[in-house]
Structure 1
Amino acid sequence: MTLTRSLFSGLLLLSGSLFSLAQANSDSPSLTMMGTTPSVPKNIVIMIGDGMGPAYTSAYRYYKNNPDTEEVEQTVFDRLLVGSASTYPAKISGYVTDSAAAATALATGVKSYNGAVSVDTQKQPLTTIMEKAKQLGLATGVAVTSQINHATPAAFLTHNESRRNYDEIANSFLNTDTDVMLGGGQRYFPPKLLKKFEAKGYQHISDFAQLDTVTEPKVIGLFADIQLPWAINDKDAHKLSKMTSKALELLSQNQDGFVLLVEGSLIDWAGHNNDIVTAMAEMDEFANAIEVVEQYVRQHKDTLMVVTADHNTGGLSIGANGEYIWKTDIINGVSNSPDAIASLALADGDWQSQVNAKLGFELSPEEAIQLSLARMQGVEVMTTAIKKIIDLRSYTGWTTGGHTGVDVQVFTSGPASTLFNGYQDNTDIANKLMSLLPKKPKVASKPKAIAPATSKSAATKPAAAPSLEAQPLQIKPVVIKSEKSKSMATKAIATPELKEPSSDTVTLGKPI
C-alpha cells in the first residue's frame, strides 16, 4: 500500500511538473502532455455534491428515467463521468472522513483530521486553491445551499481548528477578499459584522429576489437563517442553479479568470436523515446547476468544470429487504419532504387525507395506525414514521445516519479534463487543479496564522499523525432543466428548522 501510494504520488508529481514546465515555456493555449492535448483553463469551477456517493447518482438515473421508454436514459452524471477518488482523512481519523477533512483535502491537497478547516494535523494553516487564485489576481466565489460558513465552503476560504467555530469562521471571511459568497447563514453574520463587509465594498443582500439586481462583485448574499429550503418544498425553485448562474456572470468580469466553488450541500443533510424523497430532489437541483456550468463551459472554451463528492452519506441501497425491486414511482409521487408533511399533519385535524395527498398514495390501515401513534409523539417521530413507510413501499435501504468510507466519482468537462481520468485520491484532485493555475503570482504571501479556537466546541489538539497520508504531492504552481425533467409539486409548506447536530454522527431528523 505504502509503495503503491508512493509510486502513484511520484508519477503524479512528474506529470504535473512536465505539464507545468510546458505551460511555462509555451504561449500556445493548447499543450501536449503524455500523449494528450489538454488546454490550459483560465477559469475553474469546482462542484461538490456533499454526501453524493455512487449510489446517489445511480438512484438519480432511475428516479429521472421515463418509464414509458425501453431504455434507461442517461443523466448529466453518466455523460460526464471520468474517474473516481478515495476520501479517507489523515491517519489519526481512520478511514471515514467528515466534510471538513474532505473539503480540506480538496481545497489544499493535504489530508487532515476530521473537523479541520484547512489546517494540518498540527493545526497549522494550509494554502487553499482560493488563496492561490487570489494571489494570482483571479476572482473567487462560493455558491452553496448550506450556510456559507459550513464545513465545505469554509475549508476553501479560511482556516480554523474546528468546523464548529461558526462565528470565528464567519468573521474570518472579512480577510479573504472573496468576490462572491452566496448561500445561507444569516444568524452568523450580525449587523455589526455585515457593516464591516459593506465598509470593504461588499453589497449585502438577504432577499433572493435581489440577486437579479446585482451587477458586479463584491457581494455577500445570505438567503436563509441557516440552510436554504429543501428543493422539494421551495416555491422559488432552482436556487442553486440561479446562484451558480449569477456567480458565473459576476466572476467572469475578471479578465484574468476565476475559481468558483458550487456545493449541493443538502444532499448530505437529506442523506443523514435517511430521506430518499428529499435526497433525490436535492440531486435534481444539483444536476440542474451542473448543466448551467456545462452550458457555460460550451460557450467559454477556457473553463474547466470538475464535479465530485466529498464522501458518501447514509449507506443508501437501491433495493432492500431481500427484494430485487426499487419503486421510483413511489418516490416521484411524494410532493413534499417528510418533515413538511409531518408538520402539516400535526396542524390539521383531517391529517390523514392531507398525508395521503402529499404522499401520492393511500395509507393502508396498518400505516394509518402507525402514523396516528407517531403523531401523538411530535413532529420528529412523525417524520421518521413517514420516511419508514416511503422506504418500505419503494424498497429503499440505508445502513447508517452518518458517513461511509466508499470512494466517490469524478466528473469533468472542459480543458485538461483528461488529468482526472481513472482513480485518484481527493488530494490529487486539489494538486492537479493547483497545477493548472497561472504560474506568475502577483502577490507572494502565505496564509495568516490562526488564533487558537475559543469555542467550547473546538476540537482538542490531535497528536501528530504519521506523514504518509498527510504529505502534499508538492506540485508547484508553474436555469436549465435536466433531461426528461419531471415536475414536482412545490406548494409552499413551511419546513421545520433543521437543527445543527454536535457532530457528524447524527440521529435521524437532524442533518449536518
Structure 2
Amino acid sequence: MFSAGSLYRSLGLFGALFAQSAGVAAAPVSIIFVIGDGMGPSYTTAYRYFADDPATADIETSVFDELLVGMARTYPGDSTLVTDSAAAATALSTGVKTRNGAIGVDEHHKPVQTLLEAAKARGYQTAMVATSPITHATPGSFAAHVGHRSENNEIADQYFDQRIDGRFKLDLLLGGGRQYFERKDRNLVKEFRKHGYAFAGDWQQRHKLKRLPALGLFAPEGMPSALDSEQPLRLQQMTEQALDLLGKKPFFLLVEASQIDWCGHANDIACAMAEMRDMDGALRVLKAYVDKHPDTLMVVTADHGTGGLSIGANGVYDWDVASIRGIKATANRIADQLLAADENWQEIWLQLTGMNLSEAEQRSLQRWIPHSRLSGEDAPQQHNPAAVKGALVAQVLTLINKRTHTGWTTSGHTGEDVQVFAYGKGHEHFAGNLNNTDIAKHLFRVFAK
C-alpha cells in the first residue's frame, strides 16, 4: 500500500517541483476538475444552437461560452498525435504525457502521482463522479496506476488497496461499474462497507448516502444514456449530491461527463446533445457553488474530440436543430423499438423522431425489420439478429444525420485542440493555448502552497 512518504519518493512530488515557480498568489480552498469526454469545440457550438430559445431573435450564449478562457493541446506521449482517453486523462491528472491506453503511468510504465493523490496527501477530501464505470479511463487515471485501461478489476482493487498515510484515497465514488466491485474473486463492496463506507447499489438507493465515506455504484457497467434514461440529468444530480456530502471541508472533486464520447463514437447527434445538456446542468450547479464559495477553483476541459462532428454536411448550408430537439431516443433504442413494434414500426418511428419518411426512406428501414419486409424482399444476414440490429442502427443514424445536415468524419477520436474553461480563484492561470499537461502543473502548484 502507498504511504505519502513512499509515494513521493518513488513518484517525485510535483508540489516540490513547482514550489519555487510562479504560482497562484493565494491557494484556493477546494478544486473542482470537470472533463467532458470527447467534447471537441464543435460540440459546445452545437450545444449553443441546441439550447437556444427559438422564441427569441438572438442566439443565447451557453454556460460554456461564459466560462471559456483558452485552448489545450491533446497529443499523447507516443507518435500517433491522436490521443485516447487514458493517455489524455493521465496528462490531465499528472502533468506527464504517456502512451495511449496507459492509466496513471509514464511511458516507462512507472506510476506517476496524480492530483487526487496529492490532494489526499494534503488532507483534502476526495471524490469522483462519472456516468461511465467509475473505473473507466478518465476516473481511473486520477486514482490508479495500471498498464492498460482495460484492467478494470485491478483499478477497482487499487481504489481499496492503495492508501496514502494509511487513509483511503477516495472518500466518495459515484457512477457506474458495479460489476468490477462485486466479483466472484473479490467483493470490494463488502470490504468498503466493512471499513465504514455507506453504499448504494442502484439509483433508487441514492438517498442512503448521507455521509462520507460513501460508494454509489448505480449500474453494472455504464449508466443509461441521458436520452434513454429516466434520469436525463443524472450527472447534474450526482454532482449536487457530491457537493452536499463533501460539505465545508477542502476537497478535490473530479466530475466526468463520460458519455459525450460514447455518443460521438456512435455518430449520434441527439444522444450527444442530451449528454451536453446534462453536463450544462452540472456546470451550472458547480458555478453556483463557486459563487457562494469564491475561494474555490473550477477547471473544465475535454480530453479530446470524438467523431469529427460538423454542423452542416454534404454541401448544405443548414443545420436542422429543431429536428434534433424532437428526437426522443438514441439510435440504438430507436432500433430496439422498431424491431419490437414489427409491422407497426412506422408509428413508433414517428413517435420517437417526429420525422415523416419518404417512400425510399421507409424502404431503407423496412428491409431490416423482419416481418414488415415487402413480399420477396430479403435482408442480408437476416438470420443473425445482432447483424440485423447493427444494420438498422446504422440506417437510423444515416437518416437522422442526413435530415439534420449533421456530419461526422470518423467513429473514433480526433486530434484537434480542445477548449479550456475556468472559474473562481486562480482561473486566470488557464488562459491562452496550453498543453494539456500544463493544466495539471498549474493545479499541482496549488498544493505546493
When normalised by structure 1's length, the TM-score is 0.78
SS at match of 1:144: strand
Q: Which residue of 2 aligns with 1:203?
A: 198
Distance in 1 (CA, whole Å) between partners of 2:55 and 2:190 is 55
Q: Which residue of 2 aligns with 1:17?
A: 20
1:198 CA drift (Å): 1.4
1:225 matched to 2:190? The reply is no
Q: Which residue of 2 aligns with 1:407?
A: 417
1:104 and 1:155 in contact (8 A); partners too = yes
Distance in 1 (CA, whole Å) between partners of 2:246 and 2:69 is 27
Distance in 1 (CA, whole Å) between partners of 2:157 and 2:362 is 49
Paired residue for 2:98, among 97, 112, 122? 112
Q: Which residue of 2 aligns with 1:78?
A: 65
SS at match of 2:351: helix
Paired residue for 2:55, among 41, 44, 68? 68
Q: Which residue of 1 aligns with 2:353?
A: 359
Superimposed CA distance per residue, residues 256-306 of structure 1 (whole angstroms, 9 cap, x where no aligned partner): x11000000000000000000100000110111011100100111111110
Q: Which residue of 2 aligns with 1:421?
A: 431
SS at match of 1:115: coil
1:15 CA drift (Å): 9.2
Distance in 1 (CA, whole Å) between partners of 2:79 and 2:351 is 45
1:173 matched to 2:159? The reply is yes
Distance in 2 (CA, whole Å) between partners of 1:94 and 1:342 is 35
Q: Which residue of 2 aligns with 1:434?
A: 444
**Amino acid aligned to 1:382:** L
Identity of aligned residues (%): 45
Distance in 1 (CA, whole Å) between partners of 2:409 and 2:69 is 27
1:56 matched to 2:56? The reply is no
Q: Which residue of 1 aligns with 2:393?
A: 383
1:16 CA drift (Å): 7.1
Distance in 2 (CA, whole Å) between partners of 1:16 and 1:345 is 60
Q: Which residue of 1 aligns with 2:374?
A: none
**Amino acid aligned to 2:90:** T
Paired residue for 1:45, among 8, 13, 32? 32
1:127 matched to 2:113? The reply is yes
1:14 CA drift (Å): 11
Q: Which residue of 1 aligns with 2:258?
A: 265
2:18 and 2:444 in contact (8 A); partners too = no
1:67 CA drift (Å): 2.3
1:82 and 1:420 in contact (8 A); partners too = yes
Q: Which residue of 1 aligns with 2:178?
A: 186
2:199 and 2:209 in contact (8 A); partners too = no
1:97 and 1:114 in contact (8 A); partners too = yes
1:303 matched to 2:279? The reply is no
**Amino acid aligned to 2:349:** V
Distance in 1 (CA, whole Å) between partners of 2:443 and 2:194 is 33
1:161/1:14 Cα in 2 relative to 1: closer, same or farther (>3 Å)?
closer
1:335 CA drift (Å): 1.0
1:93 and 1:114 in contact (8 A); partners too = no
Distance in 2 (CA, whole Å) between partners of 1:109 and 1:387 is 38
Distance in 1 (CA, whole Å) between partners of 2:426 and 2:19 is 12
Distance in 1 (CA, whole Å) between partners of 2:399 and 2:408 is 13
When normalised by structure 2's length, the TM-score is 0.88
1:149 and 1:170 in contact (8 A); partners too = yes
Distance in 2 (CA, whole Å) between partners of 1:268 and 1:14 is 34
SS at match of 2:33: strand
Distance in 2 (CA, whole Å) between partners of 1:14 and 1:246 is 35
Distance in 1 (CA, whole Å) between partners of 2:298 and 2:207 is 24
Distance in 2 (CA, whole Å) between partners of 1:371 and 1:429 is 47
Distance in 2 (CA, whole Å) between partners of 1:213 and 1:187 is 20
1:374 and 1:385 in contact (8 A); partners too = no
1:271 and 1:401 in contact (8 A); partners too = yes
RMSD (Å), alpha carbons: 1.6
Question: Structure 1 stretches of 5 or more lacking a match?
Answer: 1-12, 24-30, 32-38, 438-476, 479-512
Distance in 1 (CA, whole Å) between partners of 2:133 and 2:18 is 37
Paired residue for 1:240, among 198, 216, 235? 235
SS at match of 1:436: helix
**Amino acid aligned to 2:238:** M
1:93 CA drift (Å): 4.0
Paired residue for 1:102, among 88, 95, 98? 88
**Amino acid aligned to 1:136:** R
SS at match of 2:368: helix
Q: Which residue of 1 aligns with 2:376?
A: none
1:216 matched to 2:219? The reply is no
Question: Structure 2 stretches of 5 or more lacking a match?
Answer: 1-15, 163-167, 371-381, 383-387
1:170 and 1:189 in contact (8 A); partners too = yes
Q: Which residue of 1 aligns with 2:13?
A: none
Distance in 2 (CA, whole Å) between partners of 1:263 and 1:15 is 27
Distance in 1 (CA, whole Å) between partners of 2:291 and 2:260 is 26
2:198 and 2:208 in contact (8 A); partners too = no
Q: Which residue of 2 aligns with 1:329?
A: 322
2:34 and 2:254 in contact (8 A); partners too = yes
1:146 and 1:185 in contact (8 A); partners too = yes
2:199 and 2:208 in contact (8 A); partners too = no
Superimposed CA distance per residue, residues 359-403 of structure 1 (whole angstroms, 9 cap, x where no aligned partner): 112111111100011334522211111111010000000000000
Superimposed CA distance per residue, residues 64-123 of structure 1 (whole angstroms, 9 cap, x where no aligned partner): 112232211000001110000000010x24200000000000000000000000101110
1:206 CA drift (Å): 1.1
1:18 CA drift (Å): 4.5
SS at match of 1:374: coil
Superimposed CA distance per residue, residues 135-173 of structure 1 (whole angstroms, 9 cap, x where no aligned partner): 111010100000000000000011000001111111111
Distance in 2 (CA, whole Å) between partners of 1:102 and 1:387 is 28
SS at match of 1:111: coil
1:237 CA drift (Å): 3.0
Q: How many residue pairs end up in the alignment?
A: 408
1:201 CA drift (Å): 1.7
SS at match of 2:437: helix
Distance in 2 (CA, whole Å) between partners of 1:212 and 1:195 is 19
1:146 and 1:265 in contact (8 A); partners too = yes
2:198 and 2:211 in contact (8 A); partners too = no
